[in-house]
Amino acid sequence: PHHSGITGILMSAAGLPVCLTRPPKLVLHPPPVSKSEIQSIPGISHTCRKTTKKQAKKGKTPEEVLKKYLQKVRHPPDEDCTICMERLSAPSGYKGPQPANLVGKLVKCSHVFHLHCLVAMYNNGNKDGSLQCPTCKTIYGVKTGTQPPGKMEYHIIPHALPGHSDCKTIRIIYNIPPGVQGPEHPNPGKSFTARGFPRHCYLPDSEKGRKVLKLLLVAWDRRLIFAIGTSSTTGESDTVIWNEIHHKTEFGSNLTGHGYPDINYLDNVLAELAAQGITEESLIQEKD
Ligand SMILES: [Zn+2]
Ligand SMILES: [Zn+2]
């Protein structure tokens, strides 16, 4: 009865073990770990990080922030501004204190926009002194997010992940309590929910895995791991959601796509961190 259809017949004929035809089992959690088996991670201080008070804003105006990242353009190219869709040679579709026909070029990527359009875009974000080019996503300054306050714990547990039998495992435990949304959130003053916390995540305790953890700690400090929004799985709004940096929450299998083995995971997450402006260079900057 286990063998039905052509697959069953072929497998029986080949004498393969029956277990190959059983559905794979979901293994979300590692075997029990006692407190004495948990170790801190060599080269990474502490085992827990709480949300620190928001870095004091320097009180710069949007124009002062943007000036650092822009070059003046005297003769605008014969193109559209991709923010307001007006010609760059015509005034911006947005109003502002300065003449609406000022045009600037972003210094790293050379994309050109109306100054007013960039100011409007900056004011629409979380005004953290950073800017991201809307055309090519190049980041200017240090990008931060709106992750609500919480706690990130990280340590080594003595079990190996599928595909990483040569090393132990880094376990990350995120805990974010529900609360009330701040001015940087979608609905300031309204409460938000936080489902499924504490959330347990896993990395191999390899050299590359430790590098990913160090960068995730930078992402945590910059409030980029979680956001408040609408859950794509449940449709619930005003709830804590993951923010574009994928985590592995399935310890011993890969049925959800958020588990192991996944040989590309560490490279993928490094690329996702880089897209948020977090690379090995950030580790050096953070020490200053
Ligand atoms: Zn424009
Ligand atoms: Zn650009």
* CATH classification of the domain holding 240: 3.30.390.130
Encode pLDDT of 231-241 as tens digits. 999 999 999 99
Question: In terms of domains, do 220 and 283 share one?
Answer: yes
Residue finishing a domain among 140, 165, 188: 140
Query: Could you say which ligand is closest to the alpha carbon of residue 108?
Result: 2
Phi, psi of 77 (to 5 degrees): -65, 160
Six token digits for residue 250: 């399935």
Which ligand neighbours the alpha carbon of 79 most closely? 1
Query: What's the gap in Å between 287 CA and the centre of ligand 1?
Result: 38
Query: How many domains does the chain divide into?
Result: 2
Is 276 in the same domain as 195?
yes
CATH number reported for the structural domain that contains residue 105 in this entry: 3.30.40.10
Contact 217, 137 (CB under 8 A): no
123 and 100 in one domain?
Answer: yes
The answer to whether 236 and 193 have CB atoms below 8 angstroms apart is yes
Please check whether residues 211 and 280 belong to one and the same domain.
yes
Token pair, residue 110, equals 């050379």
Distance 165 CA to ligand 2 centre (A): 42
One-letter identity of residue 2 = H
- ipTM over 0.90? The verdict is yes
Task: Give the H/E segment covering residue 170.
Answer: strand 169-175
122 C-alpha to ligand 1 centroid (Å): 13
The tens digit of pLDDT for each residue in 151-205 reads: 999 999 999 999 999 999 999 999 999 999 998 899 999 999 999 999 999 999 9
Q: Which of 2-6, 74-78, 211-215, 238-242 has the lowest mean pLDDT?
A: 2-6
- What is the distance in A from the centroid of ligand 2 to the CA of 75? 19
136: CA distance to ligand 2 center in Å? Answer: 4
Same domain assignment for residues 104 and 203:
no
Q: Is 5 left (phi over 0), alpha (psi -120 to 50) or beta?
A: left
In a domain, 36, yes or no: yes
Ligand closest in space to the Cα of 88:
1
226 close to 243: Cβ distance less than 8 angstroms? yes
Instruction: Point out the ligand nearest to the CA of residue 116.
Output: 1
Confidence band of 100 (pLDDT split at 50, 70, 90): confident
What is residue 208's three-state secondary structure? helix
The answer to whether residue 56 sits within a structural domain is no
Residue 45 sits in the same domain as residue 94? no
| Centre of ligand 2 from the C-alpha of residue 227, in Å | 25
User: Does the N-terminal peptide bond of residue 261 adopt cis geometry, omega within 30 degrees of 0?
Assistant: yes
Q: Residue 21 falls within a domain, yes or no?
A: no
- Containing domain of residue 131, as a range? 62-140
Whether 57 is covered by a domain: the verdict is: no
Q: Is 185 within a domain?
A: yes
Distance from Cα 100 to the centre of ligand 1, integer Å: 9
Q: Which residues contact 231 (CB under 8 A, 6 or more apart)?
A: 195, 237, 239, 241
On whether both 193 and 134 belong to a single domain, the answer is no
Same domain, 38 and 159: yes
Query: What is the CB neighbour count within 10 angstroms for residue 195?
Result: 14
Please tell me whether residues 125 and 166 are part of one structural domain. Answer: no
Domain match, 161 and 41 both? yes
Co-location of 200 and 264 in the same domain: yes
Q: What b/e string do you get for 40-52 counting C-beta neighbours within 10 Å, with b at 16 or more?
A: ebeeeeeeeeeee
- Asked if residue 2 is part of any domain, the answer here is no
The Cα 187–Cα 198 span in angstroms is 24
Distance 60 CA to ligand 2 centre (A): 23
